[in-house]
Structure 1
């Protein structure tokens, strides 16, 4: 189809079917990756990449997820290699590739992007931090590397990204430190939000399992003792969205019915929306056989 609007309607229909559990997430990912090869509209590309990510981590069954991760990583590597130098597509596919990188060889390519080895790709501060953090959450870079990177960017954004990176380290110790800082330290609103983002990553699902109970035990106190923006960000950004299970849904329902039955409307809405989103994910996963 030459008309981007018509293509957009088809993309939207496919995604709605996936979210509703009518189209298997594995089928959506395959269809989307095949169609992206010829997609010229950069806005559509950007949105579809985000939806592929959600399909893999939220809607795909456990049995199919690793296969889909590798499939997506290989596709985005190919798209990056074939993108016109200096184009918007090259920039988007550089980010997509880094965020989906799966194999040791692809991890080395993350380093190549940071070293400026991709012809035509301008690696500004934001892209550098994005790609670097993709490496951090995969264990390619460690805490010392984060400090080295932070020393190159002493801006406010640099400090925010460094906080995100430390929380994104794939260790139990890093997650525990981040959770403690988020719930008890007096962080600025931005550092708090960036730390939350680094803590709660889909790729770290197993590391996040021990924090499900801690989330439901702590959010009421945070809401009552911290400012509204910090409290709202904690309740929203720390919700155990990636520990997708019937058990997590039941814990959310218990909080709504017991622990948080008298909590503020805003807080209860946040938890209820997280529960509803997870219920939808479970339905979609059941369809991905």
Structure 2
């Protein structure tokens, strides 16, 4: 049972997909990341735009615009004293919150519960996570009184490598240390390639204490989360069904100034980074 999350499109979405093998263009610009503008394309035309404001290398607010430039949602992110993400609240232009996510951690800064609510759809979802002594994590999701369960299996490095539902392996991941090199879903394997130089100016895993398992539990989905395990720049994700590529321009510190995402050669997303 996958967790719906409109911010996968509004903000985190461009990290879920994956740079061509063309030479990377380095430009001399350094400083703290303060803004990312993401343009989403459909048929060669801009479909929507999101602008994310950062403070201390963490996203604070995401404003979503339609193709005509009208604002249709504003998301605000909050963190606790340990700099862990604890809530995402999405409101309309009149300030009314219509979508919200919350995150609860144990004393080891591991996610033990997430909640999702959408007031405009009268929707509420709770995900509870139990850490078992046999190197597994049980996920229990309640939606409108119904319970859905799955199991995440940890490797000897205590990193989630398999997702099992109804006794069937839904996703499995192979690692080189902590770097994902492939993921398999129902027999379809996607392989990862990375750039030798450069890194993301913000790493999603850092919003959860640097614990990649927390990223999996945020999505409640190993397949979505594995692309977020590292700050290395993915150059290509390739499977039997499609090829996903990125094209980057990097600054003097090796952080992205621009990032273009292509699916089977067609531009799907473009991100523009601004530094202080």
Q: TM-score, normalised by structure 1?
A: 0.34
Higher normalized helix content (fraction of residues): 1
Q: Which has the larger radius of gyration?
A: 1
Q: TM-score, normalised by structure 2?
A: 0.35
